[in-house]
Amino acid sequence: MTHRSLTPSPLSTAPVRQRRKDARPQELLDAALALFVEKGFAATRSEEIAARAGVAKGTLYRYYPSKDELFKAMVRENLSVHIAESAAQAAQYEGAIAELLTQMMRAWWAKVGHGNAGVVCTLMMLEARHFPELARFYVDEVITPSKTLIGGLVERGIRSGEFRQVPLEATVHMLIAPMMHMLLHDHSFGDLDGCGQTMSPEDLLDAQLALLLHGLLAVPQGT
Amino acid sequence: MTHRSLTPSPLSTAPVRQRRKDARPQELLDAALALFVEKGFAATRSEEIAARAGVAKGTLYRYYPSKDELFKAMVRENLSVHIAESAAQAAQYEGAIAELLTQMMRAWWAKVGHGNAGVVCTLMMLEARHFPELARFYVDEVITPSKTLIGGLVERGIRSGEFRQVPLEATVHMLIAPMMHMLLHDHSFGDLDGCGQTMSPEDLLDAQLALLLHGLLAVPQGT
Amino acid sequence: MTHRSLTPSPLSTAPVRQRRKDARPQELLDAALALFVEKGFAATRSEEIAARAGVAKGTLYRYYPSKDELFKAMVRENLSVHIAESAAQAAQYEGAIAELLTQMMRAWWAKVGHGNAGVVCTLMMLEARHFPELARFYVDEVITPSKTLIGGLVERGIRSGEFRQVPLEATVHMLIAPMMHMLLHDHSFGDLDGCGQTMSPEDLLDAQLALLLHGLLAVPQGT
Amino acid sequence: MTHRSLTPSPLSTAPVRQRRKDARPQELLDAALALFVEKGFAATRSEEIAARAGVAKGTLYRYYPSKDELFKAMVRENLSVHIAESAAQAAQYEGAIAELLTQMMRAWWAKVGHGNAGVVCTLMMLEARHFPELARFYVDEVITPSKTLIGGLVERGIRSGEFRQVPLEATVHMLIAPMMHMLLHDHSFGDLDGCGQTMSPEDLLDAQLALLLHGLLAVPQGT
DNA sequence: GATGAATGAGTATTCATTCAT
DNA sequence: GATGAATGAATACTCATTCAT
């Protein structure tokens, strides 16, 4: 195990076809995500997905046995990353809870709001009723852990005297809803004129959080 | 039960058939709304809508030229009521802004959260990308007026010194997002176990609002 | 029940569309039978069936929910007649068993060999493995009753001393097999040159039966 | 288990791969036969055949250019053996025709009824219309020779005075039909309960033959 | 007007066949 | 030669929409 120089570098030796084959699932998933976001699940034809991934109709079915399964795979794939990172975040942060929450929200938005995870959350909300099984998974793996994580932080803040004696559930909702709403609003109406916020999402989020924290803190800071 | 009078029931002046005919559009719209909520637009077959409204497939097309138009009509119909009432509310309320906002939110939820308007808002978010024209209408007639209305109230509160010098846009978002999020979340995951809030929507809303107002008020009340 | 003159003659009053609608199932069944015989079940496209019945693809599915169900319906439809008549035959015949058997076979061939029932029997043999459920039905409703009927007659012949003490099962087989074989052989190879019998099916059947009866009779007649 | 010799197993002189390669065609043909019998030609996927033969999908096409050709090859292969042996049998048997026929039938059933040839005959009947060219071959190489052979024997029996003056064609039919019918019937309905004969096929065949011969013999033996 | 039979464009999915590796 | 990834023609089935009754 000391050296593996006998194994040729996979980058150079793998035949083109093999390399493409390995990349296929991700390419299909990406194509699917883009089109599901663009047109919705029902209105996206499986052939379109294949075409966007640069393959023929039949090829898609070599990797995913149905459009439904493709959707599920896409959600799982794009969510699993998010889930793992979320779990990591819970442990690694330290310091004042207000600061912690602000940083977490900013970090989440930076990663999720821009990347795939955000769109996947949006899609999940949109299509949850068609995929109850997947919705269950999403609730168990994403929603509940997130609430637990945030709820735990709020509780810590209350116990440490940093926060007022606020109702937990409502507070958690108030921390989550603004971001989710921005995501959904942007998905549904973002393309229309006159809907864009004058502030950037990041600034808006900061301001919203500041507002809420002002209501949370036992000793409000600043004005 | 001995004999059936040949004359129509004394309750009606118009013949039964006429009465039903006049009610048709609304019955179709109601049926459509229920099914669109239940299964989504794409997954709802027009025959189902007709059946639920108690008419034949062809009859639906006498009233609405296509499934798309039916959807649009349904949204407009259910929204127009809401819009008119919302506008009225803006003028009729008086007193402290914090109180006013609380009452408005409660009233909105009582009317919208439970009734048709709420699910129509949900449907609008879900299907907005399929109906850009309708989305435009919704933005112009519902979202923008609502923001203007709430924004105006917040501004009034700031000017009167009741509220701190808070950023307007972010505050409006914070007032709207929790309710919308509750609506969407309930639609998408409400049927799953372990997703229900422990608090009633009304209490949750109250708590959320209290939290936010605490952050808004120049001189916080209570704790 | 004495007279029904108040009911208008259905022939004259039913609208054309209605009349056609009533005839559709049979038209589709006939078209299906012809094509299944011609090309086999798997090789027959449902659109072809519809076309031959003079309707569009979708119309077929108004009457039969799938190609499989269409096949089943076709078998049942064409067999039920046969079954009923077979049952009737069992009771109505009288006289010497040898004579009776001869007449029954001739009658069966006249009706079945030429008409739909014969081809349906052939199709049943060909496709039985794809339709186990239907095969079960066929065995229970056609094969077993036929064997019971014929077996009963042979038994009667033995008891009355008309026939020798022959083994029942083998004798029944010998009475059935020639006809079935002719049917199948004709279906599979009838279109090829050099396969046609020099005798007519009727004469061939007569000769075969005579041969067998000669072996059955305790006191053979003629040479 | 301590070490694996680098040299090939002493049992083989040719390398394992070579041995397998030479056996491929037969393995593919066997796999095809089994699956065609099991599920029919149309319902059998070429990949299944390859898998059952232990090779990859593409490999099948190195040996047979299409599924159709594979079917034809399979039939020809399994029939050619039968044809040669049948011809041989005709010449080698001697003695009383009745005895000869009995022995031939028994031999045919022993070889054909159990082995591949029998199911191939069944498949031929099932798929004849899809493979007219093959049907032609089958008629010319199997059916006609068989009829000629049997017909010749019957004729011999008549000329020698062993048999009555029976009609040739009908008699040949009566000798062939029972066996063919047993084959077909077993293929189509054999898996269903209540369809199995109480007698073994061999006994049934014997009894049928005895019955027929009793009708054929100028001087019946036994009862 | 109301009906529901008829239509046929549209789509997911399968599978024989090819061919780069 | 062997492989199995890729292909795309073929096909069962759906459902919005029409229109004769």
A 43-82 → B contacts, CB under 8 A: 43
Q: What is the pLDDT of residues A128-166, one digit of tens each?
A: 999 999 999 999 888 888 888 889 889 999 998 888 899
Run of H or E including D214: helix D201-216
Query: D191 contacts in C (CB within 8 Å)?
Result: 129, 132
Quickly give A9 CA vs F1 C1' distance in Å. Answer: 27
Distance between CA atoms of residues A72 and A134, nearest Å: 7
Quickly list H helices, chain C.
Answer: 10-13, 16-39, 46-52, 57-63, 67-92, 97-108, 116-127, 132-138, 144-159, 168-189, 201-216
Reduced to 3 states, what is the DSSP secondary structure of residue B163? strand
Q: What is the pLDDT of residues D40-79, one digit of tens each?
A: 999 999 999 999 999 999 999 999 999 999 999 999 988 8
In DSSP terms, B217 is beta-bridged to B163
Domain boundary assignment for chain C: 11-64, 68-216
Q: Do D180 and C182 touch (CB under 8 A)?
A: no
For residue C163, what is the DSSP state?
A: B
Q: Strand E: which nucleotides have any atom within 7 A of a protein Cβ? A: 1-21
Token pair listed for B124: 């609008």
Q: How far is CA C108 from its chain centroid?
A: 8
In this predicted structure, the answer to whether residue C215 has a pLDDT above a threshold of 80 is no
Distance between CA atoms of residues A127 and A42, nearest Å: 9
- Taking CA atoms, A140 is separated from A133, A147, B186, D85, in Å, by 11, 11, 15, 70
Q: Which among A40, A135, A140 is the nearest to B188, CB-wise? A: A135
Residue B129 at interface with chain A, using a CB cutoff of 8 Å: yes
Distance between CA atoms of residues D192 and C72, nearest Å: 17
Distance between CA atoms of residues A81 and A108, nearest Å: 12
- Per-residue confidence (pLDDT) for residue B42, from 0 to 100: 96
Quickly give D124 CA vs E5 C1' distance in Å. Answer: 43
- Per-residue confidence (pLDDT) for residue B217, from 0 to 100: 65
CA dihedral B102, B108, B110, B114 (to 10 degrees): -140
Whether the Cβ atoms of residue B205 and residue B182 lie closer than 8 Å to each other? yes
- Per-residue confidence (pLDDT) for residue D90, from 0 to 100: 60
Q: Do C129 and D214 touch (CB under 8 A)?
A: no
D130 CB-to-strand F distance under 7 Å: no
Token pair listed for A38: 């663009």
Distance between CA atoms of residues C48 and C33, nearest Å: 12
Reduced to 3 states, what is the DSSP secondary structure of residue C217? strand
Q: Which of D90, D84, D103 lies closest to D151, judged by CA?
A: D90
Choose the mutation target among C189, C191, C206, C217 for the interface with D, i.e. most D CBs under 10 Å: C189
In DSSP terms, A163 is beta-bridged to A217
Name the residues in D186-215 having a C-beta closer than 7 Å to nucleic acid strand F: none
C65 CB-to-strand F distance under 7 Å: yes
Residue bearing the bigger pLDDT, D204 or A31: A31
- Taking CA atoms, B20 is separated from B29, B31, B54, B104, D219, in Å, by 14, 15, 10, 36, 90
Quickly give D47 CA vs E10 C1' distance in Å. Answer: 30
Architecture of domain D72-216: Orthogonal Bundle (1.10)
**B193-197: long-range contacts (C-beta < 8 A, 24 or more apart)?**
B194/A139, B194/A140, B194/A144, B195/A139, B195/A143, B197/A169, B197/A173
- Per-residue confidence (pLDDT) for residue B1, from 0 to 100: 44
CA dihedral (D181, D187, D189, D191) positive or negative: positive
Residue bearing the bigger pLDDT, D138 or C111: D138
- Per-residue confidence (pLDDT) for residue D47, from 0 to 100: 97
Tell me the one-letter amino acid at D54.
G
Give the residue whose CA sits closest to E5 at C1'.
Answer: C21
Strands (E) in chain D, as ranges, are none
Nearest-Cα residue of chain B relative to residue A215:
B215
**D166-172: long-range contacts (C-beta < 8 A, 24 or more apart)?**
D166/C211, D166/D215, D166/D216, D167/C199, D167/C207, D167/C211, D169/C197, D169/C198, D169/C199, D169/C204, D169/C207, D170/C199, D170/C204, D170/C207, D170/C208, D170/C210, D170/C211, D171/C211, D171/D216, D172/D147
Whether the Cβ atoms of residue B64 and residue B73 lie closer than 8 Å to each other? yes
Q: Roughly how many angstroms between the first and final C-alpha of chain A, as a whole number?
A: 61
Distance between CA atoms of residues D115 and D120, nearest Å: 9
Q: How many inter-chain contacts (A to B, CB under 8 Å) are there?
A: 164
The yes or no reply on domain C68-216 and CATH 2.60.120.10 is no
Quickly give C15 CA vs F20 C1' distance in Å. Answer: 10
Distance between CA atoms of residues B161 and B156, nearest Å: 9
CATH class of the D13-64 domain in this structure: mainly alpha
Give the residue whose CA sits closest to E11 at C1'.
Answer: A45
**Which nucleotide comes closest to A61 if you measure CA to C1'?**
E13
CA dihedral D188, D189, D191, D197 (to 10 degrees): -130
Mean pLDDT to the nearest integer, C65-91: 84
Q: How far is CA B83 from its chain centroid?
A: 9
In DSSP terms, C163 is beta-bridged to C217
pLDDT in tens, chain D (223 residues): 445 544 444 444 555 555 556 777 899 999 999 999 999 999 999 999 999 999 999 999 999 999 999 999 999 988 877 776 666 666 666 678 888 888 888 888 887 777 788 899 999 999 999 999 999 999 988 888 888 888 988 999 999 888 889 999 999 999 999 999 999 999 999 888 776 667 888 898 999 999 898 876 666 555 4
Whether the Cβ atoms of residue A215 and residue B211 lie closer than 8 Å to each other? yes
Whether the Cβ atoms of residue D132 and residue D110 lie closer than 8 Å to each other? no
Distance between CA atoms of residues C197 and A131, nearest Å: 63
For residue D196, what is the DSSP state?
A: S
Quickly give D57 CA vs E19 C1' distance in Å. Answer: 13
Quickly give D39 CA vs F13 C1' distance in Å. Answer: 23
Q: Do A195 and B166 touch (CB under 8 A)?
A: no
Q: Which among D166, D171, D178 is the nearest to C177, CB-wise? A: D178
- Parts of chain B with a pLDDT under 70: 1-21, 84-94, 195-197, 216-223
In this predicted structure, the answer to whether residue A10 has a pLDDT above a threshold of 50 is no
Q: Do C188 and D212 touch (CB under 8 A)?
A: no
D 146-165 → C contacts, CB under 8 A: 164-165
- As a CATH number, domain A70-216 is 1.10.357.10
Q: Strand F: which nucleotides have any atom within 7 A of a protein Cβ? A: 1-21
- Per-residue confidence (pLDDT) for residue C146, from 0 to 100: 86
- Per-residue confidence (pLDDT) for residue A106, from 0 to 100: 87
**What is B11-64's CATH number, 1.10.10.60, 3.40.190.10, 1.20.140.160, 2.40.110.20?**
1.10.10.60
Q: Which of B73, B204, B63, B64 lies closest to B134, judged by CA?
A: B73
CATH class of the B67-216 domain in this structure: mainly alpha
Distance between CA atoms of residues B79 and B138, nearest Å: 8
Distance between CA atoms of residues A110 and B182, nearest Å: 24
Distance between CA atoms of residues C120 and C141, nearest Å: 14
Whether the Cβ atoms of residue A205 and residue A179 lie closer than 8 Å to each other? yes
Distance between CA atoms of residues D21 and D39, nearest Å: 27
- As a CATH number, domain A9-64 is 1.10.10.60
Whether the Cβ atoms of residue B135 and residue A184 lie closer than 8 Å to each other? no
Q: Which residues contact B84 (CB under 8 A, 6 or more apart)?
A: none
In DSSP terms, D163 is beta-bridged to D217
Write the burial class of residue D218 (CB in 10 Å: 0-12 exposed, 13-18 middle, 19+ buried): middle
Residue bearing the bigger pLDDT, C9 or B206: B206
In DSSP terms, C217 is beta-bridged to C163
Whether the Cβ atoms of residue C35 and residue C46 lie closer than 8 Å to each other? no
Q: What is the pLDDT of residues A69-125, one digit of tens each?
A: 999 999 999 887 777 776 676 666 677 888 888 888 888 888 777 778 889 999 999
C52 CB-to-strand E distance under 7 Å: no
Q: How many CB atoms lie within 10 A of CB C115?
A: 13
